[in-house]
Amino acid sequence: MQKKEYLLQPGNPYPSGAKAKNKGVNFSIFSRHATQVELLLFRTSDCIDPFQIIVLQKEVNRTFFSWHVYVTGLPVGTWYAWRMDGPNQIRETGLHFDKAKQLVDPWAYAVSDKKWSRKAACKPGDNSLTAMRCVVVNDRYDWEGDEPLRIRSEKAIVYELHVGGFTKHPSSKVKHPGTFSGLIEKIPYLQQLGITHVELLPVMAFDEQDVPQYTADLGLKNYWGYSTHSFFSPHPGYCVTPEQGTHVQEFRDLVKAMHQANIGVIMDVVFNHTAEAGSDGPIINFRGIGDDIFYHHDKHDKSILHDYTGCGNTVNANHPLVSNFIISCLEYWVREMHVDGFRFDLASALARGENGEVLQDPPVLWGIELSEQLSKTKLIAEAWDATGLYQVGSFPGYRWAEWNGRYRDVIRRFVRGDKGLVNELATRLCGSSDLYGYTGRLPINSINFVTCHDGFTLYDLFSYNEKHNEANGEDSRDGCNNNLSFNYGVEGETDYPNLLAFRRRQVRNVYALLLLSQGVPMLLAGDELLNSQQGNNNCYCQDNELSWIDWNGVDKNADMLRFVQLMIALRKRHPAIMRRRFLTGKPVEGRSIAEIQWHGLELNKALWDDRDAKVLAFTLAGTDVDEPDLHVVMNMSDHQVIVELPVIADRPWCLALDTSLQAPQDIVPPEQQKPVREKLYPVSTRSVVVFENGPV
Q: Looking at 210, 340, 382, 543, which residue is catalytic?
A: 382
The band of 591, judged by pLDDT with boundaries at 50, 70 and 90, is confident
Check pLDDT > 70 for residue 637.
Answer: yes
Q: What is the pLDDT of residue 3?
A: 64
234-258 tens-digit pLDDT: 999 999 999 999 999 999 999 999 9
Q: What is the pLDDT of residue 98?
A: 95
Q: Which of 90, 52, 86 is nearest to 72 (CA)?
A: 52
The band of 545, judged by pLDDT with boundaries at 50, 70 and 90, is very high
Class of the CATH domain delimited by 582-693: mainly beta
> Mean pLDDT over residues 548-558, rounded?
98
Q: Check residue 440 and give left, alpha or beta (phi > 0: left; psi -120 to 50: alpha).
A: left
Check pLDDT > 80 for residue 431.
Answer: yes
Rounded to whole angstroms, how far apart are CA atoms 365 and 376?
Answer: 15
Q: Which of 401, 334, 414, 410 is nearest to 374 (CA)?
A: 334
- Across the chain, what does the average pLDDT equal? 96
Q: What is the pLDDT of residue 696?
A: 53
The band of 96, judged by pLDDT with boundaries at 50, 70 and 90, is confident
Q: Do 462 and 503 touch, CB atoms closer than 8 A?
A: yes
Q: Which of 604, 598, 642, 650 is nearest to 620 (CA)?
A: 598
Give the relative orientation of helices 497-515 and 558-572 as an angle to the nearest 10 degrees.
Answer: 20
**Residue 531 CB neighbours (<10 A):** 20
The band of 695, judged by pLDDT with boundaries at 50, 70 and 90, is low
Q: Looking at 105, 207, 345, 528, which residue is catalytic?
A: 345
> Mean pLDDT over residues 85-91, rounded?
92
Task: Kindly report the length of the chain.
Answer: 696
Q: What is the pLDDT of residue 651?
A: 87
The band of 428, judged by pLDDT with boundaries at 50, 70 and 90, is very high
Rounded to whole angstroms, how far apart are CA atoms 616 and 621?
Answer: 17
> Mean pLDDT over residues 625-644, rounded?
96
> Mean pLDDT over residues 611-624, rounded?
95
> Mean pLDDT over residues 566-584, rounded?
96
Q: Do 273 and 309 touch, CB atoms closer than 8 A?
A: yes
678 is an active site residue: no
30-65 tens-digit pLDDT: 999 999 999 999 999 999 999 999 999 999 999 999
Residues whose CB falls within 8 Å of the CB of residue 95, separated by 6 or more in sequence, listed in order: 33, 86, 87, 88, 89, 290, 291, 292
Portion of the chain with pLDDT greater than 90, in percent? 94
Q: Is the pTM of this model over 0.95?
A: yes
Helix/strand/coil for 332: helix
345 is an active site residue: yes
Rounded to whole angstroms, how far apart are CA atoms 696 and 694?
Answer: 7
Q: What is the pLDDT of residue 2?
A: 42
339-393 tens-digit pLDDT: 999 999 999 999 999 889 999 999 999 999 999 999 999 999 999 999 999 999 9
463-494 tens-digit pLDDT: 999 999 999 999 899 999 999 999 999 999 99
Residues whose CB falls within 8 Å of the CB of residue 213, separated by 6 or more in sequence, listed in order: none
Query: What are the residue ranges spanned by the domains of the chain?
Result: 582-693
Helix H or strand E encompassing 266: strand 264-269
Check pLDDT > 50 for residue 185.
Answer: yes
Q: What is the distance between the terminal CA atoms of the chain, rounded to a whole angstrom?
A: 88
Residues whose CB falls within 8 Å of the CB of residue 643, separated by 6 or more in sequence, listed in order: 599, 601, 617, 633, 680, 681, 683
| Mean pLDDT lowest among 225-239, 295-309, 546-560, 562-576 | 295-309
DSSP string, 589-654: TTSSSBSEEEESSBTTB--TT-TT--EEEEEE--SSTTSPPEEEEEE-SSS-EEEEPPP-TT--EE
Q: Do 285 and 357 touch, CB atoms closer than 8 A?
A: no
Q: Do 460 and 412 touch, CB atoms closer than 8 A?
A: no
Check pLDDT > 70 for residue 321.
Answer: yes
